[in-house]
Amino acid sequence: MNILGIETSCDETSASVVRDGRRVLSNVVATSLKEHQKFGGIIPEIASRRQLEFINIVTKEALVTAGLTLKDIDAVAVTTHPGLIGSLLVGISFANSLSFALNKPLIKVNHIHAHLYANCLSVFQGKNNGEGVIFKESSLPAVGLVVSGGHSSLFFIKDFRNMRLIGQTRDDAAGEAYDKVARILNLGYPGGPVIDRLSKNVSDNDIHFPCAMLPGTRDFSFSGVKTAVLYYTRQHSAKPGYSVERVAHAFQESVVKVLTEKSLEVARKKKVKALLVGGGVAANSALRSSLEAEALKSGIKVYFPGMPLCMDNAAMVAGLAYHYYKT
């Protein structure tokens, strides 16, 4: 079964064809990121206008790359929520029209759930997901951690139709905190990749920011560490020895520690053997190594999507849609 997926929840416009919920035949992504960078964040009005311009082009390219035509498509899948309303509407209207014209089903997909499903996709001629091991549905139940620009959420995944939200951020999402801290440190937008890169230059750090563990809950909070960075920067940035790299490293250390400890604590309590991670922050090198090392001690296997599938993409939408459709 070939499903054409459409993803337009934020500033990426993506179309993908996925076969039988697993094999990625194409995954085309266009982005208006550059236009937003000068504002230091996403401007919804610009994002939705670009969605409208890109959607036809990326969809055609996704079909050509897959070596298929519209006649080969068995269903159309689209992200319906959450996201920027103007951007979402472009994808939803487009997918709706396509499904009507082709007389094929329209499958509605939750963007956050799709981020977790990215761990099940196989790209590069079906060999693997680019880096790691592909998660198999038969290994469920699992705990899922979605860390993106808009969300920091924990799920209990009984099956892919049934993901139960069991914890979330009370204020900033992890990616949002990265972006805001990067703004404080004048590092540009998005903040995650640059903070990740700069932190690698620091081995020994005497700066430590607080970690909001919120004991007894499965929730997260990242606004405190962001404020700590702001106050530290105000007090120290003009002093000799001040280093942006060390501030970035200390911030990342706090975020990674909280994400690692809290998600593994939940996985242990739920007695699952797998932790699926997804969303833009899943690309973070420190989070990857910290989770892998700590999970090993508890006999838990951590899954991360290949780098391109951590970011917003339509393959995860088409893949999850297959499970919605078949059950």
Binding site for ligand KG4 (CB under 6 A): 10, 148-150, 175, 178-179, 190-193, 196, 279-281, 283-284, 311-312
| Cβ at position 144, least distance to ligand KG4 in Å | 14
Closer residue to ligand KG4 in complex, CB, 26/87: 87
Among 13, 16, 148, 263, binds Zn ion (CB under 5 A): 148
Residue 12, classed as helix, strand or coil, is: strand
In this structure, is the dihedral angle defined by the CA atoms of residues 52, 56, 57 and 62, taken in order, positive or negative? positive
Indicate whether 313 belongs to the interface with Zn ion (CB under 5 A): no
How many residues lie near Zn ion (CB under 5 A)?
A: 2
| Cβ at position 118, least distance to ligand KG4 in Å | 10
- How does DSSP assign 202-237, residue by residue? -SS----------TTSS-B--HHHHHHHHHHHHHHT
Q: Sort residue 103 into left (φ over 0), alpha (ψ -120 to 50) or beta.
A: left
Only one of the segments 58-66, 163-171, 191-199, 312-320 lies at the binding site for Zn ion (rule: CB under 5 A); that segment is 312-320
Only one of the segments 37-45, 48-56, 147-155, 159-167 lies at the binding site for Zn ion (rule: CB under 5 A); that segment is 147-155
| Cβ at position 290, least distance to ligand KG4 in Å | 12
Q: What is the Cβ-side half-sphere exposure of residue 302, based on CA atoms within 13 angstroms?
A: 23
Which H/E stretch holds residue 66?
helix 44-66
Closer residue to Zn ion in complex, CB, 179/312: 312
Tokens read off for 162: 């049934």
Closer residue to Zn ion in complex, CB, 113/249: 113
Among 312, 315, 316, 317, binds Zn ion (CB under 5 A): 312
Closer residue to ligand KG4 in complex, CB, 160/178: 178
| Cβ at position 89, least distance to ligand KG4 in Å | 17
Which single residue is written with the structure tokens 């055609």? 60
| Distance set, CA 304 to CA 99, 135, 187 (Å) | 32, 9, 26
